[in-house]
Structure 1
């Protein structure tokens, strides 16, 4: 029996693992493991997760370091991390691609051989670590990838517009399918797949004439890559014309239909203060970090909506694969309590919610670091169970806070949440 079939709610933590290693004038590389010193402190970090009762950790692989040159592989650091997972009997939920490609891969996701390269990387990982890691997320938040790299021109390869979005979405989806199929071939029935995307909602003047078309498109786009990889884009799909205008061929759509893959668990990332964007009458916002729309805190109402939507659309158990609020420990604890209470309610109504992930284990640094020359301390986000505290020598200590105490309480004693699904 797989872990997600036992009727329990499984508690996980995540370690922020955004990697965008390319740089150019005005934009520096961002590697969250480097910024948070996880490369040096991985043993203690995983011990912290185990110590607060987590069964699992969503943990990402720095592909650009593992593959420093085309055809060259350096697994030495990952070897040590996987050994630590095994030592702690902690289950890794492996994020194979959490943004970012190797530095030698020109055009990044738009490279004609991107899918081939990412598939080889995934297969090699599974061959090497299948004795420890059997749960994989081929691509974290592919919709955000496609928006930031293909529509907003915010991250490499800096494409924009309809054609850019379509090109990146198709490339990511092809790599996604190839990676999942390759891992399944290596691990057989032991492989399980957690597909993860961002829960995205829109409110405000969504019915205003100037916004209706955009909102309709954005709502459908939030599912698009998952629809492609699961073979759901057919003649009836609402974005078919957009994809055609953007350059996707009928042959590509047929390929996805013929090679479809499915999630064992559908992960949804939901942040109550940031997952719902507000449209204002008469105001145009492009979206994304460069031109953001205002946000609305949709609380547990938004959480329930996105979990129900993904469960209905893909017919798989769902997992809250990332959540938190940036704020004081009191604010974080309040959201933890409220979100878990809502998940308990949904489970009692029969929704197969199988996992809960607080993200991140310890504080992280905002993505705006990439477009700044300010020190990392200016970009600190207080989100974790452990504070990042800069020491006199510049290193970062992890300091447990009250959020860790509450997570441990829920993870180890929340018997009401562990009741088997109706």
Structure 2
């Protein structure tokens, strides 16, 4: 038997709408932006950490400040309705409770005119000079005030990422010595992480007070170390466990005993721990999972490392996050440093998304990151080489790279799928009903 849709006018379309198109069809066609539409997105790279070379502002280095209208036009031209977009917190916040919104107002108005829905990124790896670094215990309160003011000022915005990649922020700032405070200690790492996590939680409360239906996408890096040693090494196992600590604190999820003891030993007090465990943050919470092939690494017996690519892959890592926290997930970042390879990588990541959806996991969105190439991310912004990383849909002259055509093709084929398969049954429509029968 094969399922056939028979419409009121006698038209027949074969089964194939398991993706849940808005009108009960296959789901192909460019995104519509309707509430039930899957969230296809790109992002504009907006990191701004302090390094030993000074401030690295990717919005400026990649030319967005001078090409922002063209950048927004490119997003619109692709047919995308969602854009991960960061406000430059380090420039807007000029002191405690004082803000300069002039440039941000212009940029946000440009998005609104084009009908682009921003996923507003409020803190991306750096802080205003006056606030210091992530060791500052006053960070959560000051940042929450900024988040609330942003939500109030841009009341038409519903989607937010309060603090991008808390784990990466804390690791690079407190343990690896690359950004901001540039410490190389576990205490520095745990302190930065708890402050950034608290900042995100308080920001959620501030945002929801202004926008009760806010959608909060907590983007975090999906990482894993593979131990290539017959006798498992405890430090590598602990490293993998600690990569979940930011989300454990955000979602009041009790960590395992090794993670708890390590955090308590290195700067998380019992009172602070109990504060995190007291409750979950408000808002419609989505876990954003950022995945690059370089996120998985194989640690050889001599401690040297190899890029593991996708031994587990986004599918497995995101599935684990969903089981652990019971939240919808979104693929919020991906790319490779090889422009010619990126089309295949795009499709591979999309197959991961589809497989997870088939298994019943609510995957609500997908992002190619970023719109344009980036600069010096091959060294994590630690070295000032001015090297262009060809990761974008477009190069820095705003000319399309091969992955742009691949994303266009993907959008044409899947752009109108619903957030969950068969989600069209929940939509109100004036279109005539179709009857599904077995023939």
TM-score normalized by structure 1? 0.86
**Which has the larger displacement, 5-14 or 318-327?**
5-14
Instruction: Identify the match of residue 215 of structure 1 among 233, 236, 244.
Output: 236
The residue that corresponds to 1:309 in the other structure is 320
The residue that corresponds to 1:401 in the other structure is 401
The residue that corresponds to 1:176 in the other structure is 200
What do residues 27-76 of structure 1 show as CA deviations (whole Å, max 9, x unaligned)?
23210011011012111101101111212000111111101344431111
The answer as to 2:124 corresponding to 1:113 is: no
What do residues 170-220 of structure 1 show as CA deviations (whole Å, max 9, x unaligned)?
1111111111111111111x21100110000122415535xx212211111
The answer as to 2:225 corresponding to 1:202 is: yes
The residue that corresponds to 2:67 in the other structure is 41
SS of the equivalent of 1:215 reads helix
State the alpha-carbon separation in 2 of the partners of residues 412 and 253 from structure 1.
47
Shift of 1:306: 1.1
The residue that corresponds to 2:358 in the other structure is 348
State the alpha-carbon separation in 1 of the partners of residues 349 and 207 from structure 2.
33
Return closer, same or farther for 1:307/1:74 CA change in 2, 3 Å cut-off: same
Shift of 1:373: 4.9
Shift of 1:402: 3.0
The residue that corresponds to 1:288 in the other structure is none
Instruction: Identify the match of residue 276 of structure 2 among 246, 256, 259.
Output: 256
Matches for 1:67-82 after TM superposition, within 5 Å: 67-82=93-108
SS of the equivalent of 2:272 reads helix
Instruction: Identify the match of residue 140 of structure 1 among 164, 175, 179.
Output: 164
The answer as to 2:47 corresponding to 1:18 is: yes
State the alpha-carbon separation in 2 of the partners of residues 278 and 252 from structure 1.
34
The answer as to 2:311 corresponding to 1:296 is: no
**Which has the larger displacement, 274-283 or 407-416?**
407-416
State the alpha-carbon separation in 1 of the partners of residues 262 and 211 from structure 2.
37
Whether the 8 Å CA contact 2:339–2:402 is kept in 1: the answer is: no
The answer as to 2:186 corresponding to 1:162 is: yes
Return closer, same or farther for 1:186/1:206 CA change in 2, 3 Å cut-off: farther
What do residues 66-91 of structure 1 show as CA deviations (whole Å, max 9, x unaligned)?
01344431111110111111111111
Whether the 8 Å CA contact 1:68–1:102 is kept in 2: the answer is: yes
What do residues 321-374 of structure 1 show as CA deviations (whole Å, max 9, x unaligned)?
001122133x11111122212322221222211101000111111243854454
Whether the 8 Å CA contact 2:331–2:365 is kept in 1: the answer is: yes
SS of the equivalent of 1:19 reads coil
State the alpha-carbon separation in 2 of the partners of residues 23 and 99 from structure 1.
11
Matches for 1:227-238 after TM superposition, within 5 Å: 227-233=248-254, 236-238=256-258
Matches for 1:242-281 after TM superposition, within 5 Å: 242-261=262-281, 264-272=285-293, 274-281=294-301
Whether the 8 Å CA contact 1:28–1:371 is kept in 2: the answer is: no
Return closer, same or farther for 1:370/1:311 CA change in 2, 3 Å cut-off: closer
Whether the 8 Å CA contact 1:351–1:421 is kept in 2: the answer is: no
Shift of 1:418: 4.8
Higher RCO, Cα 8 Å, sep 6+:
2
State the alpha-carbon separation in 2 of the partners of residues 278 and 12 from structure 1.
30
The CA RMSD measured in Å over matched residues stands at: 2.3
Whether the 8 Å CA contact 1:30–1:370 is kept in 2: the answer is: yes
Count the aligned residue pairs: 389
Runs of at least 5 residues in structure 2 that lack an aligned partner in the other structure = 1-31, 423-439
TM-score normalized by structure 2? 0.83
State the alpha-carbon separation in 2 of the partners of residues 344 and 369 from structure 1.
30
Whether the 8 Å CA contact 2:223–2:243 is kept in 1: the answer is: yes
The residue that corresponds to 2:149 in the other structure is 124
State the alpha-carbon separation in 1 of the partners of residues 415 and 76 from structure 2.
19
State the alpha-carbon separation in 1 of the partners of residues 63 and 54 from structure 2.
17
Instruction: Identify the match of residue 395 of structure 2 among 384, 387, 400.
Output: 387
**Which has the larger displacement, 79-88 or 398-407?**
398-407
Return closer, same or farther for 1:347/1:417 CA change in 2, 3 Å cut-off: farther
Which is helix-richer, 1 or 2?
1
What do residues 299-320 of structure 1 show as CA deviations (whole Å, max 9, x unaligned)?
6x41111110111111111100
Whether the 8 Å CA contact 1:28–1:370 is kept in 2: the answer is: no
The residue that corresponds to 2:414 in the other structure is 414
